[in-house]
């Protein structure tokens, strides 16, 4: 009988994994959904509230407009901490920062909803003594919000569309902080 018990446990674990009934404790909530329209249905990728660089499933797929949609509404007593999402694109063999988003949660009747604010990169940086022009992305136009809707009074959107005025761009990777 002792041999049968481990085989039963192993069989049940394999069955649960195959059917998707295993607990996904390390799945962080969805912070945002990155989307673009193409074909009949939009293509979507979840940006989870997990730190670290994540390769985009949309690498090498330039689009004129990207959409950042609302992620999971969280049910908890206090507001979740603000987060940052950095989107990257490839320039040659090196990833370059495309844009940053601040993610802040706002209270609703269903819980805490994520809202987004696009942070623009200034064309200069401070080197400790003087302003120095940025290299790389500074030569390109900034990322623009192309929403038809107005943001909340604080400038945050629950969903927003963005892109470059100069043409299509790709999202090669993202990092959540």
Residue-level pLDDT at 8: 43
Residue-level pLDDT at 151: 86
Question: Tokens representing 9?
Answer: 């446990």
The answer on pLDDT for 89 being more than 80 is: yes
**pLDDT, greater one: 134 or 108:** 108
Residue-level pLDDT at 131: 72
Question: Tokens representing 165?
Answer: 């005025």
| pLDDT tens, position by position, 5-46 | 454 444 444 444 444 443 344 589 999 999 998 778 889 999
What pTM was computed for the model? 0.75
Query: CA neighbours within 13 Å on the CB side: how many for 11?
Result: 6
Pairing of strands 30-36, 66-70: antiparallel
Residue-level pLDDT at 1: 45
Residue-level pLDDT at 123: 61
pLDDT band at residue 120 using 50, 70 and 90 as cut-offs: confident
Residue-level pLDDT at 117: 94
- Which DSSP string corresponds to the chain? -TTHHHHHHHHHHHHHHHHT-S--TT-PPEEEEEEE--SSS-EEEEEES--EEEE-TTTT--BS-EEEEE-PPB--SSPPPPEEEEEEEEETTEEEEEEEEEEEEEEETTEEEEEEEEEPPPSEEE-SSSEEEPPSGGGSPPEEE--SSPPPTTS-BSSEEEEETTB-B---EEEE-
């Amino acid at each position: 009988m002792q041999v049968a018990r481990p085989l039963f446990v192993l069989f049940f674990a394999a069955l649960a994994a195959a059917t998707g009934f295993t607990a996904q404790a390390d799945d962080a909530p969805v912070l945002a959904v990155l989307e673009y329209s193409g074909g009949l249905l939009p293509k979507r990728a979840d940006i989870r509230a997990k730190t670290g660089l994540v390769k985009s499933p949309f690498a090498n797929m330039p689009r004129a407009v990207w959409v950042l949609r609302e992620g999971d509404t969280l049910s908890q007593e206090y507001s979740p901490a603000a987060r940052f999402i950095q989107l990257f694109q490839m320039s040659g063999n090196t990833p370059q920062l495309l844009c940053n988003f601040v993610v802040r949660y706002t209270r609703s009747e269903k819980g805490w909803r994520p809202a987004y604010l696009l942070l623009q990169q200034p064309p200069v940086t401070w080197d400790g003594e003087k302003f120095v022009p940025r290299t790389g992305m500074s030569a390109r136009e900034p990322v623009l919000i192309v929403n038809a809707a107005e943001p909340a009074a604080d400038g945050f959107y629950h969903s927003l569309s963005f892109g470059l005025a100069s043409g299509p761009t790709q999202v090669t990777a993202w990092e959540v902080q």
